[in-house]
Amino acid sequence: MMDNGNICETSSNISNWMESAFKYAEEALEHGEVPVGCVIVHKDTKVIGTGRNKVNETKNATRHAEMVAIDDAMCNMKTDNILEVFSESALYVTVEPCIMCAASLRSIGIQTIYYGCKNERFGGCGSVLHIHTDEALTASTGQPLQCKSGYYSERAVKLLKSFYKQENPNVTLPSVRQ
Amino acid sequence: MEEPMEKKSRLDVAVLNPSTCIKDKRISCVLGDEYAANKDAVGLVKGLAVTLTSKKYASQVLKHLTEYLPLEGLQHLKRVRSVKTHDGDKLQVLMFVATLHEDFMDLNKTLNIKEIKPVKDFIMDPMFVAIPIKPPLTRDQFNICKQYWPVSFHEDKKISKLLLCSLFADDDMDRIEENMDLAIETARIGKKFDPRCDQGVVIVDPATNTIISTAFDMRNMECEIKDGYFARHPLNHAVMVAIDLVARSQGGGTYTYKPFLKSNSKINDGLYFNSTLPTSARNTSDTSDKGYYICTGLDVYVTKEPCIMCSMALLHSRVRCVFYGVSRPGGGLGSAFKLHARKDLNHRFEVFCNVLKSKCQVL
Ligand SMILES: [Zn+2]
Ligand SMILES: [Zn+2]
């Protein structure tokens, strides 16, 4: 596991992509939304979609950053074969995708997910359920999804904490567990 | 990736999930695995029991055990049972349970520990027994437990009613089936646009039996994503559309669903949201986070079991109850998972299946 910028993957771009994901998480915070942000990157070269939480804005509890970014990528690419594009793309997100988002990302065939901190409450990539790899879902939801975690997780937790503190000082905070 | 087409010879959810009630033909409740009528649910562990040399020592031995070796947290377990031996009827006493007394689980040494000394002369024949470690939640579990060791059972009336499917009166059932009929009709309207559409959803406010939204599976239909861009959206499952239309009815929402959503949509149009609700009707406490969970208190009717994404979307939206017609492989409310019954997620809701099952099956 990597943390705090000690990234030693062959792709030196990971930290750059994560940095942009954080930009959208911070934007979410400014808009009074749970601070989660993400970017979808095609072939490790180009950001094709970005997203931040819009649950409040849309009054729709399913408008998580990942769902917003998927729509954004569809509108930017305007292709009839968006699934092929997704199969060549990675998602960089500040917090582990929830069960819903993990299922949706797996079903559209995203190649790899890179995420920051764990999502102890809803995490679908190992924290609560293993939606990304569960074999019982292959027939209905597609091939397993590769996940890599621990990128700047403390920074992601700090952002979440600053949100929940202003919302409700008594809430149980997500912890960084690797 | 699309959800696979349903096979007609699919297993019944009741077969897949022993905890599911099959007694009533009109509806079945999908309870969590902890209610299943099987050995796993009652959790058998090793216990160590001894036989009293004479029944007359029973109160003395029990008093000693209660004081020095209490079965903490296992109040459902009785301490004594009667057994037939070649020597006539005897009393057998539960001394240790593996989860509490791991160190004492040894047939040879166990009677020599200091906690036993004062009653040592009254006991004999130590033997291992199987102990149901969890208190029985249902009468069926109670009957399973009793086969191993006597336990007490406190019946939860609501759970019993759910298991017997007697929670709903006849006119409730009629209303439930009416709403499901609308979900089926909604799926049929979707089918006119694309024959692969097999999913219809109706979201209802049960307090007034008001329809809030209706939707069908739109994955194979070109509709507006954003700013005049039209495409087939792989995530436009019927449930996701219906949730977004509830948001729309409250002045929110993400998509226009052009050209499928008419400007003055009616309940039988396939895609519908109730535009007559005051936008703050159901969210009076705007300071609390309830405002985001727009489906709080609403019931959802869906022809086929929601996939895992849609099941979690319903949980995020804090729905009150989900009724579905037929289960499907990979489903999140009974088949692959029971998201609605998990204690580690922050919202739980009731789920009933087999509502107008045969009608939903042929969609
Ligand atoms: Zn999510
Ligand atoms: Zn679905």
Q: In what order do the strands lie in the sheet with B299-304?
A: B28-29, B350-353, B321-326, B299-304, B200-205, B210-216, B272-273
Interface test with B, best of A53, A57, A60 (most B CBs within 10 A): A60
CATH of the domain at A143: 3.40.140.10
Per-residue pLDDT band at B109 (split at 50, 70, 90): confident
pLDDT value at residue B278 = 67
Which structural domain range is residue A156 located in? Answer: 11-164
- pLDDT, tens digit, 9 for 90 and up, residues B199-243: 999 999 999 999 999 999 999 999 999 999 999 999 999 999 999
pLDDT value at residue B240 = 98
Residues of A within 8 A of B233 (CB-CB) are: 71, 74
How many A from CA of B122 to the centre of ligand 1?
62
Q: Could you confirm whether A66 is annotated as catalytic?
A: yes
Look-up: residue for tokens 């917090």?
A95
Residue A30 in tokens: 């400014």
**Residue A169 within a domain:** no
B299: β partners: B204, B321
How many A from CA of A18 to the centre of ligand 2?
29
pLDDT value at residue B300 = 98
Looking at the 3D structure of chain A, how many domains does it have?
1
Give the pairing type, strands B28-29 and B44-52.
unpaired
Given a cut of 80, whether residue A96 has pLDDT beyond it is yes
Q: Do B330 and A55 touch (CB under 8 A)?
A: no
* Mean pLDDT, rounded, for A132-155: 93
How many A from CA of B143 to the centre of ligand 2?
38
Residue B270 in tokens: 């396939």
pLDDT value at residue B19 = 45
Closest CA–CA distance from residue B335 to any residue of chain A (Å): 10
Percent of chain B with pLDDT over 70: 89
Residue A71, classed as helix, strand or coil, is helix
Q: How far apart are CA A65 and CA A54, in angstroms?
A: 7
CA A36 remoteness from chain centre: 7
Full-model pTM: 0.84
Report chain A's C-alpha Rg in angstroms. 15
Residue B240 in tokens: 């996701």
CATH 2.60.40 fits B44-133, yes or no: no
**Residue A106 within a domain:** yes
Domain boundaries, chain B: 28-37+167-361, 44-133
pLDDT value at residue A169 = 56
pLDDT value at residue B184 = 98
Closest CA–CA distance from residue A143 to any residue of chain B (Å): 9
Given a cut of 70, whether residue A170 has pLDDT beyond it is no
- pLDDT, tens digit, 9 for 90 and up, residues A107-139: 999 999 999 999 999 999 999 999 999 999 999
pLDDT value at residue B294 = 82
* Amino acid at the residue B217: D
What is the count of residue pairs from A and B with beta carbons less than 8 Å apart?
126
Nearest CA in chain B to A164: B289
**Residue A28 within a domain:** yes
- pLDDT, tens digit, 9 for 90 and up, residues B6-60: 433 333 333 334 444 444 458 899 999 999 999 889 999 999 999 999 999 999 9
Closest CA–CA distance from residue B244 to any residue of chain A (Å): 6
- pLDDT, tens digit, 9 for 90 and up, residues A53-76: 999 999 999 999 999 999 999 999
Cβ B149 vs Cβ B78: under 8 Å = yes
Burial of B280 (0-12, 13-18, 19+ CB in 10 A): exposed
Burial of A166 (0-12, 13-18, 19+ CB in 10 A): exposed
**Residue A171 within a domain:** no
Cβ B21 vs Cβ B28: under 8 Å = yes
Q: Do B244 and A60 touch (CB under 8 A)?
A: yes
Per-residue pLDDT band at B164 (split at 50, 70, 90): confident
Fold of B28-37+167-361: Cytidine Deaminase; domain 2 (3.40.140)
Tell me which of B9 and A31 has the higher pLDDT.
A31
How many A from CA of B308 to the centre of ligand 2?
7
**Residue A69 within a domain:** yes
Does residue B240 belong to the interface with chain A, where contact is any CB pair within 8 Å?
yes
Per-residue pLDDT band at B113 (split at 50, 70, 90): confident
**Residue A5 within a domain:** no
* Mean pLDDT, rounded, for A92-103: 98
Does residue A74 belong to the interface with chain B, where contact is any CB pair within 8 Å?
yes
Report chain B's C-alpha Rg in angstroms. 27
CA max distance for chain A: 48
Of B301, B253, B241, nearest to B277 by C-alpha is B253
Within 8 A by CB and 6+ apart from B359, the residues are B180, B181, B184, B325
Tell me which of A120 and B115 has the higher pLDDT.
A120
Q: Do A62 and B240 touch (CB under 8 A)?
A: yes
Residues of A within 8 A of B312 (CB-CB) are: 98-100, 103, 122, 124
Q: Do A56 and B292 touch (CB under 8 A)?
A: yes
- Give the ligand whose atoms come closest to the C-alpha of residue B217: 2
How many A from CA of A104 to the centre of ligand 2?
9
**For every residue of B143-184, which 3-state class applies, written as one string?**
HHHHCCCCECCCCCHHHHHHHHCCCCCHHHHHHHHHHHHHHH
Closest CA–CA distance from residue B198 to any residue of chain A (Å): 15
Per-residue pLDDT band at A164 (split at 50, 70, 90): confident
Of B170, B152, B156, B169, nearest to B74 by C-alpha is B152
